[in-house]
Structure 1
């Protein structure tokens, strides 16, 4: 009797993936759950989740301002959602571990969603006179890449490409062009707006929107958030990543590599 052929080994270690998922901080988990929930809702045909929550420039008004918060967590299909989840998870996990859960909530619900969305509406509607809708969490992916690129530029201003020295802050721009050429129906303008806001975040111009640590400590103590909420990252627990910092060769103080293993897409819903 012939012995059945052995299955080829998996390209990743399932136990390591499981360990990584189990240690995700609270807000990152909630964002992933919301993305999955909206994708599941889109499977029904009675109500269009994409049309309801996408960023449509001419349909954003006082009664529809919620679109500035819903468009990053809504996707137009399974693969669109999957690519953006793979791209966003390590970046958001890193941000939350570094800055704390309350800070992550305040920034991503506030300026890190509304500012790139508002800039996109301003250019799309009043300069380009178009009305192309966009959805997708890659708005956050490119924003975080832009912020990381600025921080890396401060310690390593250039990277070499043959005989050329290219500023490290331009790396998200190259990624933006690459994704637009490689993937159809992506919004180059949406990604570019996200990168510009990410640059402002990396340069420190958005610090005024970060809640004071004194206020955060008061809220955490009053509500006992660290004791009540599993995987919560407190303002005092956020040590440059509450899980520690991985050593980086030839890296100076404050330098952190740009995590560009995955690149997501903001889906363009119009022509």
Structure 2
């Protein structure tokens, strides 16, 4: 009687993956679902989703401004979509958990998509006179890496590479260069624009786009979002408090706010 051969162990724990997916906050889930939906739509051949929603400088006009928001959700294939989804999920999850679902929606549907897109169009079309299209959630990956780099720079200004001390804020730039060298058909300029906007976010210069907390509380209470929407992150239930501010007590008994976004000031009202 032949004994069945045992299957090799999986390189990951399915239980942990399931637990991680179950714990994803609402907006992060929606982003991943929209990425999946657009990839499925791209499988049909009657209509090109990429051509419709890509950020193409020459195609931007009054009737196609939607491209400033659709391009992060659209990808050129399964591998492209999978890699970007895996990369953006933990970064976006942390952002939403620290900032709240409404703030994440307001920023990523708004300035964190349109500002890097506008900067890219300005350089690509006006300065370089080119018309290279851009798609993919990697724009958000490098933007969030840029913001994280500013945060890390405040506590750890340098990291060692052999005998050299390298500023921590430059780490996304190195990642951008490495990805451009190792991966074909990626936009170095698009990723660079995203990093620059991430730096502005980390330094607090985009705080003018953050909705005031009073308005967020009013919307949440009026619509009862916390009670109606599963996995919703409210203003009062974020991981680290309002915009990641952690109060620490100094010897004089006063409290000093440490901001997630690399500034001693809070965003919003």
TM-score by length of 1: 0.89
Give the deviation of 1:46 after TM superposition. Answer: 0.6
For residues 182 and 254 of structure 1, what CA distance do their matches in structure 2 show? Answer: 37
Please name the residue that 2:177 is paired with: 177
Q: Is the 8 A contact 1:155 1:255 kept in 2?
A: no
Query: Does residue 27 of structure 1 match 2:45?
Result: no
In structure 1, the residue matched to 2:67 is 67
Distance in 1, Cα, partners of 2:210 & 2:258: 20
Distance 2:77 2:234 in 1: 35
1:37 maps onto 2:51 in alignment: no
Residue 5 of structure 1 deviates from its aligned partner by 2.2
The corresponding residue for 1:117 is 117
Q: Distance in 1 between the 2:239 and 2:4 partners?
A: 50
Which one scores higher on RCO, CA 8 angstroms, separation ≥ 6? 1
- Unpaired segments ≥5 residues, structure 1: 245-252, 257-271
Task: Give the distance between the partners of 2:105 and 2:154, measured in 1 at CA.
Answer: 27
Matched residue count: 247
Using the TM superposition, give the Cα deviation of residue 199 of structure 1 relative to its aligned residue in structure 2, in angstroms: 0.2
**1:77-96 maps to which residues of 2 (within 5 A)?**
77-96=77-96
Q: Distance in 1 between matches of 2:4 and 2:174?
A: 47
User: Shift of the alpha carbon at 1:254?
Assistant: 5.1
1:130-177 CA-partner distances (Å, limit 9, x unpaired): 000010000000000000000000010000000000000000000000
- Runs of at least 5 residues in structure 2 that lack an aligned partner in the other structure: 245-256, 261-269
Aligned to 2:43, the other structure's residue is in SS state coil
Show the 5 A alignment for 1:88-167. 88-167=88-167
Query: How far does residue 8 in structure 1 lie from its aligned partner after superposition?
Result: 1.3
The Cα offsets for residues 180-238 of structure 1, whole Å up to 9 and x where unpaired, read as 00000000000000000000000000011010111100000000000000000000101
> 3-state SS of the aligned residue for 2:159?
strand
Q: How far apart are 1:239 and its partner, in Å? A: 2.8
Residues 189-228 of structure 1: matches in 2 within 5 Å? 189-228=189-228
CA contact (8 A) 1:152 1:255 kept: no
Give the superposition deviation at 1:3. Answer: 1.8
Inter-CA distance 110–56: structure 2 relative to 1 (3 Å threshold): same
Distance in 2 (alpha carbons) for counterparts of 1:222 and 1:239: 23
Q: 1:267 matched to which residue of 2?
A: none
> SS of 1:189's equivalent?
helix
Tell me if structure 2 keeps the 8 A contact 1:97–1:241.
no
Moved over 4 A (4+): 253-256
Partners of 1:235 and 1:110 lie apart in 2 by 19
Kindly provide the CA deviation profile for residues 93-129 of structure 1, in whole angstroms up to 9, marking residues without a partner as x. Answer: 0100000000000000000000000000000001110
Give the Cα separation in 2 of the matches to 1:102 and 1:255. Answer: 19
> CA contact under 8 A between 1:146 and 1:196: conserved in structure 2?
yes
